Structure 1
């Protein structure tokens, strides 16, 4: 592993409040967007974008849109990214930012311990100037509408795969920015992943890791599961590979190849992937000409053989139409698609509105196997707006700290307020050796469940996403010794505790 100190930035500004609901507004496609603030009834909204792919958006801690960005807005080139304020106007100095019009080039990260400074990171492939760039947005400027105060600052000069992503550090405050090297259109392959740490000290701790299979592709994607301990890389040339990820150190390890990159065409075009909320399944879109949506069982001893075809649309009806998969705040997975009538579909003519480009597909129960996941193509209406291949490249802004881990130096379970309204019920059924855990009136969308014995030893722990105000878990206690146990249920907003006895 190679480590270098690259950049130090320090802003002495107000502390950042906790980041609940920052991902509740999506902005993408042709003026399209979704408001998830009502998790049971997300609604379409209008935006200022007209992008075929790369885009990102961020809200404040109560779910109100702050700003968003997208590239190739009706123009080609290497500097096509525009930054929009929440009034859907381009910010001052928010134009001519690096961006070539791919699909996973852009990401927005808040400056830790700062409530007004944000970073916009953009990568460039071999077809553009190459490298990694950042711009800085100050939301205190322009009467709270924001201003791009610095732009196109170059961190790296080498070309990068279209797979930029980020994941919360285990301390719940900082960020790991992750990307992969691209060697261009030649035949050179690599397995080089790179990262930066985004902390109150700025952009630091540059690392390079060589791990996993060799590949040469400019089109790919990195995705993390809901707990941040697994990562998947998929590519147009066919790679589908799982890794373990350490949120404390940023270390990638234990590669598990599902499919290797093809040695030559035809390419499988593994366009996008997404984990189920519980992390047991992986959904993958292939669009070599026809479009295929697959599910894989990550607990299988042979993941590639567990493949289930959920849906396909033949090229004779829609060619290369499948786009990105993305887990929503409501734990459903959304699937974008483009309308392709034989001509390159960007930008759409003003007359082209139809079921293919005015709706997203939805996987309603992604934690369920096979057809029980209930995928419904073209079922989420965008309110008269249109989609292309892209969906917002927003990280999980609400991912909590790894409570009790060695790197949880910022928060502890005692820092989270004890709820006075939420109720936790635990009933132990000795015949079934199961503790039935149920909570209601609980707030928050991320949870950490942990069970301790009376000596304080952790017996069971689990983290994930939930839809408030309810939580339920059937805990298998077959291996528990007789005695009393303490259940702690912690969300990103509160905690509740209950005891039960195994007899």
Structure 2
């Protein structure tokens, strides 16, 4: 009887656990000047050369739960799994020179409908738009069945998503331009709730249109939100996020970072990484903050440089299925890699020439993936993760 009970327990555990470990929606990356990476084998990421896309900054890619490509976009065009333009997939009102030009989410409750959200560049009039993609069309190659639907303008180039506490819905989060207000839009089986949850907190995003530039990222658990702002704001901020209500709270201003652009959380949520370039570039540096250091002052003072790049400018930082964080080096055939991002300080192990892209080049962006795709990935293998101080 005990053996039977144990067997049933193990079987039920495996049935529960497998879907979490089998999530491979972020297995394929396309970005930059025709560049790509496959994480089909997370221990040996491979450069891809079959992309048809150019994007100076933002892009988004989605694969299915088994890691098979579904489609990808720069916010202006969409390419299907055959790497051809999707039906009705051109003349979208995003912009490939927007930091987070695009974001893909499945429509809750549907197996074949997907939302694509796009942002215009530098706070221009196209703002935040949504487009609906039906992958049941054209023998699975898909079709854009509704496009260029304005949600709100003007917004900054910041765009991310968090899974709702209920495990089904999503929050799509952006920041209003000429404002200090975050907008969080609920996405449910009923569609998009067009009245956002508003949170007025943090820096005023205003002035020169360059202030629209820079990433917004959510932690894998969805409880933290971070914002990097390019000149003239030149700063990095981190907040708490309530994935039940959509509210942003508890600002920690991490200080001045000239031409701040990319940032990312470690998979365990304990560290935040941010990049800066220096005024007019030439000082590409990566910093780490220990979010478990204690008080607000302790978090601020935990900041330390953990890497620098030979590239004049660096862009996006993006967590990957192998547990590492990849760094876009502008106009380079290489990505930088933070090889052990859960670890403290220099043990995080930044390598500037971390992953070769072959003959293809990175620009400023990497694919814009919601953090929740990485919530259940293991820590990088081959490295000892430093234990957190209690």
Q: TM (normalized to structure 2)?
A: 0.84
1:466 aligns with 2:385: no
CA distance in structure 2 between the partners assigned to 1:293 and 1:256 by the alignment = 18
Q: Which residue of 2 aligns with 1:167?
A: 162
Q: Which residue of 2 aligns with 1:326?
A: 318
- Per-residue CA deviations over 1:439-497 (Å, capped at 9, x if unaligned) read xxxxxx71xxxxxxxxxxxxxxxxxx425999x99999x9xxxxxxxxxxxxxxxxxxx
Tell me which of 304, 311, 327 is aligned to 2:307.
311
CA distance in structure 2 between the partners assigned to 1:64 and 1:268 by the alignment = 39
1:69 aligns with 2:73: yes
- Going from structure 1 to structure 2, the CA distance change for 1:228 and 1:134 (only over 3 Å counts) comes to same
1:271 aligns with 2:272: no
CA distance in structure 1 between the partners assigned to 2:24 and 2:157 by the alignment = 26
CA distance in structure 2 between the partners assigned to 1:297 and 1:149 by the alignment = 44
CA distance in structure 2 between the partners assigned to 1:126 and 1:240 by the alignment = 18
1:180 aligns with 2:175: yes
Deviation for aligned residue 1:240: 1.4
3-state secondary structure, aligned to 2:353: strand
3-state secondary structure, aligned to 2:158: coil
Deviation for aligned residue 1:391: 0.1
Larger radius of gyration: 1
Tell me which of 365, 373, 380 is aligned to 2:355.
380
Deviation for aligned residue 1:129: 2.2
Deviation for aligned residue 1:49: 1.1
Q: Which residue of 1 aligns with 2:137?
A: 141
Q: Is the 8 A contact 1:243 1:253 kept in 2?
A: yes
Deviation for aligned residue 1:39: 1.6
Deviation for aligned residue 1:127: 5.3
Structure 2, unaligned runs of 5 or more: 1-18
**Going by fraction, where is helix more abundant, 1 or 2?**
2
Structure 1, unaligned runs of 5 or more: 1-16, 72-80, 184-189, 261-266, 340-356, 400-444, 447-464, 479-503
- Per-residue CA deviations over 1:286-305 (Å, capped at 9, x if unaligned) read 01212111122223343333
3-state secondary structure, aligned to 1:170: coil
- Going from structure 1 to structure 2, the CA distance change for 1:145 and 1:362 (only over 3 Å counts) comes to same
Q: Is the 8 A contact 2:340 2:385 kept in 1?
A: no
Q: Which residue of 2 aligns with 1:213?
A: 203
- Going from structure 1 to structure 2, the CA distance change for 1:42 and 1:208 (only over 3 Å counts) comes to same
1:366 aligns with 2:366: no
- Going from structure 1 to structure 2, the CA distance change for 1:140 and 1:272 (only over 3 Å counts) comes to same
Q: Is the 8 A contact 1:118 1:137 kept in 2?
A: yes
- Per-residue CA deviations over 1:32-71 (Å, capped at 9, x if unaligned) read 1111121211222231111111100001111111000014
Tell me which of 327, 330, 337 is aligned to 1:338.
330
Q: Which residue of 2 aligns with 1:98?
A: 93
1:24 aligns with 2:42: no
Q: Which residue of 2 aligns with 1:299?
A: 292
CA distance in structure 1 between the partners assigned to 2:385 and 2:345 by the alignment = 22
- Going from structure 1 to structure 2, the CA distance change for 1:40 and 1:141 (only over 3 Å counts) comes to same
3-state secondary structure, aligned to 1:271: coil
- Going from structure 1 to structure 2, the CA distance change for 1:238 and 1:141 (only over 3 Å counts) comes to same
CA distance in structure 1 between the partners assigned to 2:380 and 2:364 by the alignment = 31
RMSD over aligned Cα atoms = 2.6
Q: Is the 8 A contact 2:156 2:177 kept in 1?
A: yes
CA distance in structure 2 between the partners assigned to 1:115 and 1:329 by the alignment = 23
Tell me which of 389, 393, 404 is aligned to 2:368.
393
CA distance in structure 1 between the partners assigned to 2:350 and 2:42 by the alignment = 18
Q: Which residue of 1 aligns with 2:8?
A: none
3-state secondary structure, aligned to 1:361: strand
CA distance in structure 2 between the partners assigned to 1:86 and 1:326 by the alignment = 22
Count of aligned pairs: 354
Q: Which residue of 2 aligns with 1:223?
A: 217
- Going from structure 1 to structure 2, the CA distance change for 1:380 and 1:55 (only over 3 Å counts) comes to same
